[in-house]
Amino acid sequence: MSERITCEAFDAAAAELAFELVDPEARDVLLAHAAGCDRCRAELESLSVTADLLVLLAPDGEPPMGFEQRAVEAMVGQRRSRRWLMLAAAAAVLFVVGLGIGSWRSHDDSTSTFRQAVLVDDHGASFGSASLAWSDDVVLTMSLKGLDAGDYRCLVETSDGRTHLVATWPIGAEGTGWWAVPLQLDARSVHSVLIQDDDGTPVASAVFN
């Protein structure tokens, strides 16, 4: 049923496909060819990466007055439905560690607070940073770099001396990653964050106070 094409025919349309400018029928034929041809699949991938970068050259423009507020309200308006998706995704981790996700309440920028600390090992080498932001909800965000590939555990130590396993996250071969997880803890009680490898060996920590 599906039309077969040659690599030469694929080449002729590859750039247009990379810009996502071909009609659905032609796209299906081209993608079917790429799926069975390593050479053409690699060509399409590399052209697509370049095509996606060209948008960086567009000039900036000043949006209309009030755009920022309208955009944020539209985003946060999706929050309720997102909440259920997030609950489902986080349920496994949160069940294990005994941490929960707080209920959603109205957002108020004026009450937000933020702390950030550098993640360092015992020798002072930096592995990124840990950030704690809270207003109605408490969110821990990790920016990581320089790690070996593997699974890492993130633990939060509170001022009462207790340690809470927040999650286990993977780091790929590139050694970088961004993690974020909501906490049901009093943000002011969070003393430090610890990163361990999957053997439980401490890798780096960030002390907030």
CA 130 and chain centroid, separation: 14
- Which residue in 188, 168, 185, 186 sits closest to 177, CA to CA? 168
- Choose which of 13, 187, 193, 194 interacts with another protein (CB under 8 A): 13
Q: Hey, which residues between 92 and 121 contact another protein (CB under 8 A)?
A: 104, 107, 109, 112-118, 120
Residue 1: CB minimum distance to another protein, A: 25
- Binding flag, residue 127, another protein (CB under 8 A): no
CA–CA separation, 148 vs 170, rounded Å? Answer: 10
Task: Please work out, in degrees rounded to the nearest 5, the angle formed at the alpha carbon of residue 102 by the alpha carbons of 100 and 105.
Answer: 165
Residue 162: CB minimum distance to another protein, A: 21
Residue 192 bridge partners (DSSP): 157, 207
166 to 195: interface string for another protein, x by CB under 8 A: ------x-x-xxxxxxx-------------
128 to 167: interface string for another protein, x by CB under 8 A: -x-x-x-x-x-x-xxx-x----------------------
Residue 128: CB minimum distance to another protein, A: 9
77 to 96: interface string for another protein, x by CB under 8 A: -xx--xx--x----------
E strand residue ranges, 13-149: 113-120, 126-134, 138-144
Q: How many residues bind another protein (CB under 8 A)?
A: 76
CA–CA separation, 90 vs 183, rounded Å? Answer: 11
Within 10 A of 144 (CB to CB), how many other CB atoms are there?
Answer: 22
